[in-house]
Amino acid sequence: MQSGHAPYKGVRPPLMLLLFLAAAGVLMAADQPLSFSHAAHIEKARMQCTDCHSGAKTRDAAGIPSIRRCMACHQFIATDRPEIGRLVAYWEKQREVPWLRVYGFAKDAAVQFRHAPHARAEIECARCHGDVASMTVAVPTVIHTMGTCVQCHRDNSASDDCLACHY
């Protein structure tokens, strides 16, 4: 029955709305509670993405680290910086940092995304998330549409059954 599907032909009008929302996401991402620098951690401190986003290769969700993970290092490292001072303020109030989500699927997209199989297929993080390693505050530079997903699935002979993602 797959053959009955019309091939996907790029961006269609309803997707313009998604693009707009993605653009709005850029503005939101700039309003993170702390101006966390990915570059300082990855390029300078030589950390891996999975040091903080621990589920990225093994679980459904990459995950946002708990403040405990931050404080494991920052109790001792760079404690004199003003942003670390603000992090410590959350820590002393026993609060998590209310990070804003940068990437994600809208609820009505009905997409079930799992990180683990993509990591097993050795898709680089940057393929979907852009060059986060050199960003300060992470911004969504890669626009995710069904076209980008389906194209990559076809290029890698992964399933292009609708049910692969939508259920």
Partner 1 sequence: MPEGSTEAGTGTQRRTPQWGMAIDLDRCTGCEACVVACASENNVPTAGEDQAAKGRTKHWIRIDRYYEGDFPNIRVRHRPVLCQQCDEAPCEPVCPVNATYQNAEGLNVQIYNRCIGTRYCAINCPYTVRFFNWYPPEWAEPLGLQLNPDVSVRPAGVVEKCTFCVQRIKRAKLNATAEGREVGDGEIQPACVQSCPAEAMVFGDLSDPSSRVARLANSRRAQRLLEELGTKPRVFYLERAD
Residues within the interface to partner 1 (CB under 8 A): 1-2, 4-5, 58, 107-110, 112, 114, 116-122, 153, 156-159, 161-164, 166-167
Q: Please report how close the Cβ of residue 56 comes to partner 1 at its closest, in angstroms.
A: 14
Q: Please report how close the Cβ of residue 4 comes to partner 1 at its closest, in angstroms.
A: 5
Helices 82-92, 67-74: crossing angle, 10 deg rounding: 130
Cβ distance to partner 1 smaller for residue 72 or 106: 106
Q: What's the alpha-carbon Rg for the chain, to the nearest Å?
A: 18
For residues 80 and 25, what is the distance between their CA atoms, to the nearest angstrom?
Answer: 31
Q: Please report how close the Cβ of residue 13 comes to partner 1 at its closest, in angstroms.
A: 15
Cβ distance to partner 1 smaller for residue 35 or 159: 159
Cβ distance to partner 1 smaller for residue 41 or 153: 153
Q: Give residues with Cβ within 8 angstroms of 68, minimum separation 6.
A: none
Cβ distance to partner 1 smaller for residue 34 or 64: 64
Our CA angle for 46, 23, 116, nearest 5°, is 45
Q: Please report how close the Cβ of residue 137 comes to partner 1 at its closest, in angstroms.
A: 27
Cβ distance to partner 1 smaller for residue 1 or 27: 1
What 68-74 contacts at long range (C-beta under 8 Å, 24+ apart), as own/partner pairs, is: 70/97
Q: Please report how close the Cβ of residue 148 comes to partner 1 at its closest, in angstroms.
A: 15
Which segments of 95-146 are extended strands (E)? none
The residue among 57, 162, 55, 56 whose CA lies nearest residue 110 is: 162
